[in-house]
Chain A
Amino acid sequence: MQAETLSGGFADPSLHSAHAFRSVMEAMARPGTLQDISGAAPPAPLSPAAGAVLLTLCDTETPVYLAGDADTDAVRAWLAFHTGAPMTGPSHCTFALGTWDALTPLETYPIGTAEYPDRSATLIVECPTLDAPSATLKGPGIKESAMLSLPEHDAFVKNSALFPLGLDFIFTSGSRVAALPRSTEVLCADSKPLSREEGSA
């Protein structure tokens, strides 16, 4: 077992996860806000923020899908050691982790059932930045409207149309986190609806 596997967890698991959860909860309750999250030092290519989200929410009850470059032996070993979460593919995961390109398309993830819409996946999307607001958001958790940096628009528009079914998203970059629940309505930054060209592209 590599030293990297054993290190990088929360130094004080109950305190660090309590603080990290509050950051994730604030992010999910107030879409468009950026929250600081710290305490984890996962192996590359995971961001400290993604590591903290995984340590806070994952355990033996939550199958995890590692997408694309996030699926390395080092990440698998680290996650197994610190959380015990079993690895799985996209169709049975509770959490998925990766860049947007690696995670898409979204059609294979569980979106919940009519009677249990909570039985749906949460996607942890590693982003190069959260500082380039590209979409206007409306809905629960948002006073009038909010802005958020999103990797694209269409997929989120489609996802929110599934409400109350759908996926929930946590965006991570460096040591910051944002979120987009299925309840949020996603508009373009210039707040006009998607043009037909973009919509059908």
Chain B
Amino acid sequence: MIEYNFAYLDEQTKRMIRRAILKGLAIPGYQVPFASREMPMPYGWGTGGVQVSAAVLTPDDTFKVIDQGADDTTNAVSIRTFFERTAGVQTTTATQEATVIQTRHRIPEEPLNDGQILVYQVPIPEPLRFLEPRESETRKMHSLEEYGLMHVKLYEDISRHGHIATSYAYPVKVEGRYVMDPSPIPKFDNPKLGDMAAIQLFGAGREQRIYALPPYTQVTSLDFEDHPFEASKADHGCGMCAATDSYLDELIIDDTGGRMFVCSDTDYCEARQAAGHIGKDNGGKDAA
């Protein structure tokens, strides 16, 4: 049997990440640099999130991993198994039972509580990167609250498309100070970022940044008086559970181009079906 360090990382690395997490919580929305370590998985698999999870987990935790809302993708299963083995944690797919949830690209539909921690895997932590490639310049822009270009870019969307076309990684302002990238969650999830009871931690492995939102932090999506922020919303229900309040994925279900819409949060959808909510593609009548 191989002896691992608890949660794989050595103690000095965990201490360094833990110090970065505390500074991140003290300065909500600010990106704290940290010295990212090699993890036994590729960068695309959320090594930033994995390192943050490794620094916060204790053996008393119940751990859940979701990848685009699903617990059963290869990525989610690998990370879950990794911490079962290295940290001895219990794992679950039920959002309500989890104390630490690592996520890629979604916030669970079920509201989180004050005993929970949500850890995001972040590919590009810098919301200003597409406007300015130089780190020294984006640091300066954040320090001077120079966010005008960001608004110009969003406004160009409006003049070109009649609305703000950005639908993922939609930038937010935290407590009226730092502009933050919420990771590539759909903008449907943006309203859940603010006033959340759980602690939210963001880890970017390749870019070596950690940032955080303490519970009940004020988070607003950037918008304009004449074009207020609108979270996208489907105009039909989930084909499996008839939910009309969840984020839906479009699935191709046969060779003739048949489609159905189903909750991206699989735990939410399955719990609703178990409670007797049946959608139109699942033998029920359309709830919409």
Instruction: Identify the A interface with B (CB < 8 A).
Output: 13-15, 17-19, 21-22, 24-26, 28-30, 56-59, 61-62, 94, 114-118, 120, 122, 139-143, 163-164, 168, 181-183
Contacts and interface: CB of A to CB of B under 8 A. Distances in A.
A30 B55 contact: no
A15 B6 contact: yes
Given A56-B15, A164-B177, A24 B214 contact: no
B224 interface: no
3 nearest A-B pairs in the assembled complex, by CB-CB distance: A181-B26, A141-B214, A14-B6
Contact of A143 (B6, B15, B216): B216
B27 A117 contact: yes
12 contacts: A15-B59, A18-B7, A19-B58, A22-B56, A25-B25, A57-B22, A58-B15, A61-B16, A118-B20, A122-B22, A181-B26, A183-B214
A56 B11 CA distance: 9
Task: Give the interface SS of chain B, mostly helix, strand, loop or mixed.
Answer: mixed
B241 to A, nearest CB: 31
Contacts of B12: 59, 61
Interface of B: 5-7, 11-12, 14-16, 18-28, 30, 32-33, 55-60, 114, 139-140, 142-144, 175, 177-178, 199, 212-218
A151 B142 CA distance: 33
A29 B15 contact: no
- Among A25, A58, A181, find the residue whose CB has the most chain B CB atoms closer than 10 A: A25
A21 B26 contact: no
Given A21-B56, A115-B143, 20 more contacts: A13-B11, A14-B6, A15-B58, A17-B14, A19-B60, A24-B22, A30-B114, A56-B15, A56-B18, A57-B22, A61-B16, A114-B144, A115-B140, A118-B23, A120-B23, A122-B22, A141-B215, A164-B30, A181-B25, A183-B27
